[in-house]
Structure 1
Amino acid sequence: MEVLVTGGAGFIGSHLVDALMESGNEVRVLDDLSAGSLENIKHWLENEHFEFIKGNMRNHEIVRKAVEGADVVFHLAANPEVRIGSQSPDLLYESNVTITHNLLSTVKDSDVKFLIFTSSSTVYGDADVIPTPEDYAPLEPISVYGGAKLAAEALISGYAHTFGFRALIFRLANIIGERSNHGVIYDFINKLRKNPDELEILGDGTQRKSYLHVSDTVKGMLHIFEHFKKESKIVDFYNLGSDDWITVREIAEIVSGEMGLKPEFRFTGGVDGGRGWKGDVKLMRLSIEKARKTGWEPKLNSYEAVRKTVKELLKTERH
């Protein structure tokens, strides 16, 4: 396949690029390196089947150049930080909705057959049904981040139905693993590096969520894409997560243990009943039955994924 990966130098994107290249595809990456790093994809830069374009997706001409010749677009470019919505909603809109619209404006006039988008569990908001299935409604995001992801989903669906390409949308749980540069595990490690005796924990520590290792995520995306290609749906949605969930306090205990530390935990108390920040979904676990019916199964549960990620991040920092 001729594949474009937007955000392909980022955390999830670079792992996806690895899998696509190892499968013998022609891969082009478009990334402005605001959240990603060339370090993540440097091992492919000299490969004749790989191309890197540094550019901002607000620029229509750069997007047009990147899309040209592609059969498939994996759209992962976005601002990955949920918390930024309360400080800078304009930035979140531009880095999630505007760039998606720019991409769709180009895709509609191209030979792209499939667009695959990484959305988020945050589109469900505080769901009344847990585990939450794909057909849960109404979708009521409680963060600007979740709202921006849902807006992007709606645009993609509208364009796909109108302009004749097919779209696959993944609603992801918390994705963790090597190369991640944000999120609770990354934050805890950095805090404990600065002060091994105390760990500040946002919220009351009882926030409970599902975590999925990036290796399971990429395998799931590619496996379900193969399944989707054989079907006739124009647009389809799949949750990707794990069957269990883990509290923030338990994550803090795993990180501390792997670092050989016994810090005092200091909980901030949080907002709105112990949330880490305004817009933080306190309880999140996705139903993965639909994905499982295609034959995909996560190898690691939340606890295993967290422990593996801590080891990976600590090992990376030591080198």
Structure 2
Amino acid sequence: MKVLVTGCAGLIGSHLVDDLLASNYRVIGIDNLSYGSLNNIKAALKSKNFEFIKTDVQNISKALKAYSFDLIYHLASYKKPINQIVKSSKVIEENMLMTIDVVKYCLLNNCNLIFTSTSDVYGNSVNFDENEKITIGPPTNERYSYAMSKLISEQYIFNEINQSNLRASIVRVFGCASERSKPSWSAGHVPLFIYNSLKGLDINIHGDGLQTRSISSARDISNGLSLMSNRLKDVNSEILNLGTNEQTTVKEVAEYILSKTNSKSKINFIERKKIFGDYEEILVRFANISKAEKLINFKISNMTFDVIDKMIYEFSNPNSEHYIK
């Protein structure tokens, strides 16, 4: 099978490339490296079955004119960081344009599509069923831009499934991490907390820290995505959750990391409104994976604190390529 992975140098994308190569697939990866890192695909670059092309997804028709694929994994995405480097309007615009370009490419070249969405589309729901009615939040708060861009992309894909016979599946990814995670807010709280604890910096928690999150191994997510390639007919026109159904509070994770790293960093609890205005904090988040278990035999093999332990080891080990100096 010949596969294209957009966002191949990112967290999930790089692990997915590794999995696909292990299955002897021919893999082409594209990334503009605005957030991803070549270091993440260092091993893949040595494989004769992998080719990397540095390009924007919106250039896909020109850059990949001479190629053909059986399957495209569209992972490339903008997610607004807290420091406002990427404007919220650009998050919506770029994510939608990328989705449109990839869908058009799939239709023109008759290939399957697996699109990675986000658990953020569930808003403040506590029922994480793929067919759940969704209410996200008011458009007056730009914090919802990322979730909205993904939900609009989902709608666009299903429109093309219904109107143009696009063969596509959607995956809603719940929070995940690995040693390839960047220590930044947009990568989630775990890598940022570990980085701050190792550097002796304060850990800032939004609210009281009792909100729960699911922290999956990026390897488990990539494995689930890889499994879908063998069940394309079964997952066609389906939405699947991928993640762990194990819940941990943000405060619990922070305290665990401080303990494991013997850090003297302090935890600060910051009022949510000071950061996000009228954004309504998501209080509960965990993956309902019953559908993925049934359709692709998806399993979680890495427990939350095992994921955190491995990240702490890699970030704090001077002999690791992920060492934080």
TM-score range, shorter chain: 0.7 to 0.9
C-alpha root-mean-square deviation of aligned residues, in Å?
2.6
Segment drifting more, 240-249 vs 137-146:
137-146
TM-score, scaled relative to structure 2:
0.86
Secondary structure of the structure 2 residue equivalent to 1:244: coil
Distance 2:281 2:62 in 1: 34
Alignment of 1:48 onto 2:48? yes
Write out per-residue CA displacement over residues 31-56 of structure 1, whole angstroms, 9 at most, x where no aligned residue: 10011011111223243321111111
Distance 1:220 1:278 in 2: 31
- Do the aligned residues in 2 keep the contact of 1:82 with 1:145 (CA within 8 Å)? no
Q: What's the CA shift for 1:22?
A: 1.3
Matched to 1:93, the amino acid is I
| Distance 1:44-1:244 versus aligned 2 partners, 3 A rule | closer
Secondary structure of the structure 2 residue equivalent to 1:284: coil
Matched to 2:254, the amino acid is A
Alignment of 1:265 onto 2:263? no
Identity of matched residues, %? 31
Write out per-residue CA displacement over residues 241-300 of structure 1, whole angstroms, 9 at most, x where no aligned residue: 21221111111112212211143311112229x989936523212211111223222012
Matched to 1:145, the amino acid is Y
Alignment of 1:65 onto 2:88? no
| Distance 1:268-1:88 versus aligned 2 partners, 3 A rule | same
Matched to 1:311, the amino acid is Y
| Distance 1:318-1:193 versus aligned 2 partners, 3 A rule | closer
- Which residue of structure 2 lines up, in the alignment, with residue 183 of structure 1? 188
Q: How many residues align?
A: 311
- Which residue of structure 2 lines up, in the alignment, with residue 216 of structure 1? 220
- Which residue of structure 1 lines up, in the alignment, with residue 162 of structure 2? 161
1:237 pairs, out of 221, 236, 239, with: 239
- Which residue of structure 2 lines up, in the alignment, with residue 137 of structure 1? 133
Alignment of 1:202 onto 2:201? no
Segment drifting more, 205-214 vs 156-165:
156-165
Distance 2:240 2:137 in 1: 17
- Do the aligned residues in 2 keep the contact of 1:86 with 1:144 (CA within 8 Å)? no
Write out per-residue CA displacement over residues 129-152 of structure 1, whole angstroms, 9 at most, x where no aligned residue: 3xx111111343561111001011
Secondary structure of the structure 2 residue equivalent to 1:94: helix
Distance 1:20 1:195 in 2: 38
Write out per-residue CA displacement over residues 141-200 of structure 1, whole angstroms, 9 at most, x where no aligned residue: 56111100101111112223333331111111101112111221222233234435x432
- Do the aligned residues in 2 keep the contact of 1:9 with 1:31 (CA within 8 Å)? yes
Q: What's the CA shift for 1:128?
A: 4.2
Distance 1:180 1:150 in 2: 24
Distance 1:302 1:44 in 2: 27
| Aligned residue runs from structure 1 range 11-90, under 5 A | 11-59=11-59, 61-62=61-62, 64-65=64-65, 68-81=67-80, 83=82, 88-90=87-89
- Do the aligned residues in 1 keep the contact of 2:124 with 2:135 (CA within 8 Å)? no
1:115 pairs, out of 103, 110, 113, with: 113
- Do the aligned residues in 2 keep the contact of 1:31 with 1:77 (CA within 8 Å)? yes
TM-score, scaled relative to structure 1:
0.88
| Distance 1:200-1:22 versus aligned 2 partners, 3 A rule | same
Q: What's the CA shift for 1:60?
A: 5.2
Distance 1:85 1:108 in 2: 35
Distance 2:278 2:85 in 1: 9
> Which consecutive residues of structure 1, in runs of 5 or more, have no partner in the other structure?
none
Write out per-residue CA displacement over residues 108-131 of structure 1, whole angstroms, 9 at most, x where no aligned residue: 11131x1011111111100043xx
Secondary structure of the structure 1 residue equivalent to 2:279: coil
| Distance 1:145-1:261 versus aligned 2 partners, 3 A rule | same
Distance 1:308 1:161 in 2: 43
| Distance 1:308-1:141 versus aligned 2 partners, 3 A rule | farther
1:296 pairs, out of 287, 295, 298, with: 298
Alignment of 1:249 onto 2:251? yes
